[in-house]
Each structure stands twice: as C-alpha cells, then as structure tokens.
Chains A and B, each alone.
Chain A
Amino acid sequence: MNPVLKLLIDGGSLSTGQMAAVLGLSDAEVNQHLDQLKKDGIFLGWRPVLDLSREAAAAAAVRAVIEVKVTPERGGGFNRFAERIARFDEVESCYLMSGSYDLLVFVKGASLQKVASFVSEKLSTVEGVLSTSTHFMLRCYKEQGFLLEGGEAQTTRLNVAP
C-alpha cells in the first residue's frame, strides 16, 4: 500500500513535512504520493472535522438523514438515481444500503424549512422515488472519530518512569 495512504488511514493530523519525517521521505516524495493518490481517485481532498454546535451562527444549520426508497431501473439499477441525488448541493453523503430502504442521504441546510423544502420539492419529486423518511439530527456525540464531549483526559503519564 502507498505509505502516505497508510498514514492518512491512521487518521493522524500530520503535515506533509511531518509525514515526510515519519516515512523517511522528502517533502517532494510525499507530494508525489499524494498526487498519485489524487490521480487514482483515492485521495479526494482535505476537510476539517468541526464541532459547529460551539459556533452560534453555524450551529443554526440543520442536518438530516433521509431514507429513500426508489424503483430500480432496468439497465441502470440504482446508480442513476444515486448519482442524480448526490449532485444536489444539500447532499453531504449518499450511500446505497441493504435492508428496508435503498439510499441513505445525509443532508445539510441552513434551516429546517430549507431541508424540508429540499425533501418535498427536490428529492421526493425525482422520478422513480417511491418514498422518503426524514430524520433530523438533534445532537452530535462523535464526529468522524472525534469525541465531541468527554474525550480522554489530558495525559497524566509520569514524565520519567522505569
């Protein structure tokens, strides 16, 4: 496996300079690996992990998870629907699921009203969509591996120990 990819999977927040130090490569080599990962469509981009509940203006945003049932098309299956739905700006993530519904869509909007109108006017009117079931998120406890509250205590290791 690409050594840079291994470090990225581990989820540490290393700069390219630090990755270079860890791997014993030059900065240029790390950047080459990153470029290759981009070319291969594996590394799509950097995004910060944020707890927006602590920022009043951003906290007003509403997030929802929507279960979508669709009629699969002959020839296209679910892909055409999924790709079409995923293109909306409101959609943060979109997955094809096993079980009692087909697509799971993560949506973000500036207000409850905005999300509601996205569901009623955009999502549910896509041809082939049989039904939607919308769940609004009330509170986040863990975001992409980060605990939002009550994380680990500051290290209390002894500075010197046998």
Chain B
Amino acid sequence: MSTDPKRWVAGHVSTLPKSGIRDFFELVAKMKGQDVISLGVGEPDFVTPWHVREAAIYALERGKTYYTSNLGLLELRREISRYVEEHFGVAYRPDDQVIVTVGVSEALDLCFRAFCNPGDKVMYHQPCYVSYHPSISLVHGTGIAVPTYARDNFALTAEALRAAWQPGAKILMLNLPCNPTGGTCTREQLEKIADFCREKDLLVLSDEIYSELTFEGTHTSIASFAGMAERTIFLHGFSKAFAMTGWRIGYACGPAVLIDAMMKVHQYAMMCASIIAQEGALEALKHGWDQVLKMREQYHRRRDLIVRRCNEAGLKCHLPRGSFYAFPDVSPTGLTEKEFAVGLLEQEKVAVVPGTAFGENGRGHVRACFATAYDQIIEACDRIDRFVQRAGRGQGASG
C-alpha cells in the first residue's frame, strides 16, 4: 500500500497548476538584500488612510469582537448600497441584495460554488487575474478563455466573445479595468457585450475592483444597462481604491435569489467577514472618498510616467485606462516574456511579472505595477532602459 500522503489530495486539486506568480515570487525572494525594485506587487503602496485604521481601533476598544450577520453589518450594507447607487448607478436593497465577503476573492469563489454545476461553461477574458481559471476548475466547471489584444488596448470586444462562445456557455466573468492589462471597455463596447449576454442568456460576474482607478473617461458598470442587473453579480471591495488589501473585505450585489444562494455557501464556509474589517470598511465608505481621489491622481501621474518611459526605452506599451498596471509588449527586444523578466531581475534587479502568469494570451508581455514611489519608478525605468538597450545589442538574455 502507498504511504505517500499525496494519495489523500483530491484529484482535481493535485492536477491544479500552481500559479505562475509563485515561481517568480520564489525567484525574487532568492535575491533578498540585493536592492531589487519590485514592480511585481499587486497592491497599493499607500497604507490604509489613518481615519479608517483609527475607526477600526476604536471598534476594538468598544469591544466589537463578535460575529456579525452572515450578510454583514446592516449599517455597512446600507452604506454599500448608497455607494454603489451613487457611483455605479445601480440600486440594491441592503436587506437581501448585498453580501459582505472576505475580499472579492471569496465573493468570486461563492459565485462559482453557488452557480456552477459540474461541466458548466464559464467564459472569461484573458490575460486575467490568476485565480479565475483555477476557481472554475475547483467546481468542476469548464473555463473558456476569450482573448483580449494590445491593439484594442486590451478591451474585451463582443466580436471576440462571439468567436469564443460555445453552446451551453452559462456564465461570463468580467474584470474591468483588468488586472494585469489595465484594459477596460468603453460604454459602447460594454453595451455590445451586454447585448450578447442577453442574447445568449449569460449570467455575468463583474469584478469591478479597479473601477475607481479609471483614468480616462468614467467607469461604466455592465449592471447599469437596462435588464442587466437581473443577470449580473456586481463584485467590488476596498482593497485597491481604499488601499485596504490586507483587511480582506469585499462585497457582492445582485438579485436576491442569487445572493441568497451565495449566502448559503458563505454561512457554512466563512460565517461572516471580520467585524473589524467591516467597521473599517464602513468608515472608508462614509469618509474616504477624498483620499481615493488623491491616490488616483498619484496613480494617474505614475502611469503616464511609466508608459512614456517604457515606450521611450523601445518597448510597446499601450495606455492602460485603469488599474495600476502597465502591460508592455517586450517582443521588440527579441526576448520572450520569461527571458525578459528573468534577465531584468538578474541583471538590473527590477522585478516584473511575465505576462503568461496571467494566461497564454499574456505571451510577449510583462506586468509592471506602478503603485510605487516616483523615485523608485524613475530608477526602475532607468534600469529597464539599460536592459532593453543591451538586449537590442543581442546581450539581453545571456547578459
């Protein structure tokens, strides 16, 4: 009889590939103490605004240490409802159409577990956040990757959606603005996607975590189009706009029946989100908007800086309309995205993430996060410039 503990790991988990981010993380970790500038992060460099932290400390001092309702504090759900209506133009009832979760990651997992039967087909645009495909696999669903392209600024198009569609597709997963590409859709593009969803009777899971960090035009939620709120789960949270990644707090809004199904999974798996994080989130929604705008202005300038410098260095970098990621095409160097990322790290001590960590369609690109101080971005760009010039002379990969 085998004694390998591996025999106890479920088949679909043991075949689940490890995140490509993980490999790169370990590579960077080996270079500890070597003046590495990391553009590989996925979170703001701002610490959570003090008034939010102070509110959470006060909540602790008052002894707020108990469970909350499974759906989350009613006061927070009311505030979420007000915020979503004001900023996204969709009204959700706090009583039964809003659920507070442990980040959007949990909300997304709840969606897949609540809505996916084994074999159900889920469409998602790619390059995309690393968890989408594995989360679908974990519920025995079938993922259908829809490519987005640099020529469209990585916006998802209805044409690409139609080309990738397969009979029986049930769910469309959206993340606009997108991690890692910064791509997002214009209102007109989104309207066509909404038409497609109505035509094919798709349920939409819309992860809008980067929406406040939209630099050109205004963000439009697909849930705001006529008849779409009925078929959309709006997913949002506090990590990016309010710089609250480590708090793990997010929420989902949607039709009461669907939120109720998600709540069933949530109550058994999680019970509720941390009350301290909920108190902090409440304060962020009530008084945090000015800080959001200030941070956005900083990101905007940093984006312009890094995109300009990448292009000047000879990479091809589209202008990401949202998020805090640039996603330059490194193919002009003649290197693959992995060779580029490894070479840049080893020779110039700058960490970026190879685009293929976000799916096959990220080939030829790297993700560079610009949620970093100006002087660090400037120094990183100087180093990238040096690296690209060397690569241009055919010395990049070997160094």
Interface residues of A, Cβ cutoff 8 Å to B:
10, 12, 14, 18, 21-24, 152, 155, 157-162
Closest-by-CB residue of B relative to A162 is B130
Known: A160-B41, A161-B42. A22 touches B28 (CB 8 A): no
Residue contact A160 to B305, C-beta cutoff 8 Å = no
Q: B43 at interface (Cβ–Cβ under 8 A)?
A: yes
B378–A21 contact, CB under 8 A?
Answer: yes
Whether A162 contacts B42 in the complex (CB less than 8 A), given A10-B298, A24-B304, A24-B305, comes out as yes
Residues 336-352 of B at the A interface (beta carbon under 8 Å): 351
* Nearest chain A residue, comparing its CB with the CB of B382: A21
Q: Are A18 and B41 closer than 8 Å at their CB atoms? A: no
Residues of B within 8 A of A10 (CB): 298
Cβ-neighbour of B25 out of A14, A22, A155, A160 (below 8 A)? A160
In chain B, residues 3-53, which have Cβ atoms closer than 8 Å to a Cβ of chain A? 19, 21, 24-25, 28-29, 36, 38, 40-43, 45, 47
Which B residue's beta carbon lies closest to that of A152? Answer: B47
B189 at the interface (CB under 8 A from A): no
Contacts of B47 in A (CB 8 A): 152
Q: Are A159 and B308 in contact (CB under 8 A)?
A: no
**Min CB gap A151→B, angstroms:** 10
Contact yes or no, B25 A158, CB < 8 A: yes
With A10-B298, A22-B305, A24-B308 as given contacts, are A162 and B374 in contact (CB-CB < 8 Å)?
no
Q: Which residue of A lies closest to B312 (CB)?
A: A24
Q: How far is the CA of A125 from the CA of B235 in the complex (A)?
A: 67
By a CB distance below 8 angstroms, the chain A residues around B129 are 162
Which residues of B lie under 8 Å from residue A23 when comparing CB positions?
301
Q: Are B21 and A157 in contact (CB under 8 A)?
A: no
Asked if B28 and A159 sit within 8 Å, CB to CB, the answer is yes
Pair B24/A18 contact, Cβ less than 8 Å: no
Expressed in whole angstroms, the Cα–Cα distance for A132 and B355 within the complex equals 67
Residues of B within 8 A of A14 (CB): 374-375
Q: How far is the CA of A162 from the CA of B104 in the complex (A)?
A: 13
Chain B residues bordering chain A, tally (CB within 8 A): 32
B353 at the interface (CB under 8 A from A): yes
A14 vs B378: C-alpha distance when bound (angstroms): 11
- A157-B45 in contact (CB<8A): yes
> What are 8 A-B interface contacts by the 8 Å CB criterion?
A12-B374, A18-B378, A24-B305, A152-B47, A160-B24, A161-B21, A161-B42, A162-B42
Contact assessment for B36 and A159 in the assembled complex, using a CB-CB cutoff below 8 Å? yes
Taking the complex as formed, is B131 at the interface, i.e. its CB lies under 8 A from any CB of chain A? yes
A157 to B351, CA, bound (A): 13
Known: A21-B305, A24-B304. A159 touches B374 (CB 8 A): no
Contact call B301/A162, Cβ cutoff below 8 A: no
B304 partner residues in chain A, CB cutoff 8 A? 24
Across the two chains, which residue of chain A brings its CB closest to B27?
A: A160
Residues of B within 8 A of A21 (CB): 305, 309, 374, 378, 381
Report Cα–Cα, A161/B353, bound state, in Å.
9
B41 and A22 contact, CB distance less than 8 A: no
Bitwise, B125-156 to A at CB < 8 A (1) or not (0) is 00001110000000000000000000000000
Question: Given that A18-B374, A21-B378, A22-B301 are known contacts, is A159 also in contact with B21, CB under 8 Å in the complex?
Answer: no
B50 CB to nearest A CB, Å: 10
Question: Most chain-B Cβ atoms within 10 A of its Cβ — which of A155, A159, A160?
Answer: A160
Per the bound structure, the CA–CA distance linking A48 and B229 in Å amounts to: 54
A159 touches B29 (CB 8 A): yes
The answer on a CB contact under 8 Å between A160 and B351 is yes
What is the CB-to-nearest-CB distance from A29 to chain B, in angstroms, rounded to a whole number?
15
How many Å lie between the Cα of A10 and that of B47 in the bound state?
16
CA distance A159 to B27 in the complex (A): 10
Q: Which residues of B contact A158 (CB under 8 A)?
A: 25, 41
Q: 9 smallest A-B Cβ distances: which pairs?
A: A160-B40, A161-B42, A160-B25, A159-B38, A162-B130, A159-B28, A21-B378, A162-B21, A162-B42
Distance, CA A28 to CA B29, complexed state (A): 41
B374 adjacent to A22 (CB under 8 Å): yes
- Report the separation of the CA atoms of residues A11 and B41 in the bound assembly, to the nearest whole angstrom: 24
Contact across chains for A159 and B378 when beta carbons are under 8 A apart: no
Min CB distance B304 to A, Å, is: 7
Complex-state Cα separation, A141 to B309, whole angstroms:
39
Structural contact, A157 and B375, CB atoms closer than 8 A: no
Nearest-neighbour CB distance to chain B for A145, whole angstroms, equals 12
Instruction: Write out the residue numbers on chain B whose beta carbons fall within 8 Å of the beta carbon of A161.
Output: 21, 25, 40-43
Bound complex: CA A144 to CA B338 (Å): 45
B42 surroundings in chain A (CB, below 8 A): 161-162
The smallest C-beta distance from B296 to any residue of chain A, in angstroms, reads 13
Q: Which residues of chain A have C-beta atoms less than 8 A from B41's C-beta?
A: 157-161
Q: Which of A22, A152, A157, A160 is the one whose CB lies under 8 Å from B378?
A: A22
